[in-house]
Amino acid sequence: MNIYGYIRVSTQEQNEDRQLDALQKVNVSAENIFMDKQSGKDFNRPHYRRLVKKLKPGDLLYIKSIDRLGRNYEEIQNQWRILTKEKGVDICVLDMPLLDTRRGKDLVGTFLSDIVLQVLSFVAENERSNIRQRQAEGIAAAKRRGVQFGRPSLPPPENFPEIVAAWEEGWISFQEALYRSGFSEATFYRRVRELRLLRKNK
């Protein structure tokens, strides 16, 4: 039997030490720990795929908590079935002792594990949905307060009206107008519209 561990953090900035410490306490060797720094929305993760290929019947996989495996209810259920039923691997979720397939392999034990897995998987996906909603609400509230998102808008150069006039009169090419203004094509046209509107309202 080989013992493996899987770690997932959502971003490059997040720290994996807590998960790593938990795996080391159950004596998972460093070479058998696989880690992805990626969202848990799906299982399209390079190191997770490598881990699944290495797993053999009778091996044991440790994870710190069910949301480290993933945050999609149906996909967690599907991966759990693939690992335990098709590949014959045991899984132990360290934060939830009931989710340890080595225990209670009788009908009642399996039934209880399935119920706990379904509840925790639902909670993981629900939390992911709540995070998305909170992010959207936070962005909307910030926009109402006037917070600008994205790259700051470049102000036009002082001689922008002269550049536009030269371009409109055919004295310079469009590419030359872009070069002199320092704008992209889309920004240049937007600034031209703003300038024409300003002229019209004077």
Active site residues: 10
In the chain, which ranges are continuous DSSP H helix?
Answer: 17-25, 46-54, 66-69, 73-81, 107-144, 160-168, 174-181, 185-201
In which element (H, E) is residue 92 found?
A: strand 90-93
Degrees to nearest 5, angle at CA 161 with 160 and 165: 115
Q: Name 33's bridge partners.
A: 5
Write the burial class of residue 19 (CB in 10 Å: 0-12 exposed, 13-18 middle, 19+ buried). buried
Q: Name 36's bridge partners.
A: 8
Single-letter code of the amino acid located at 161? P
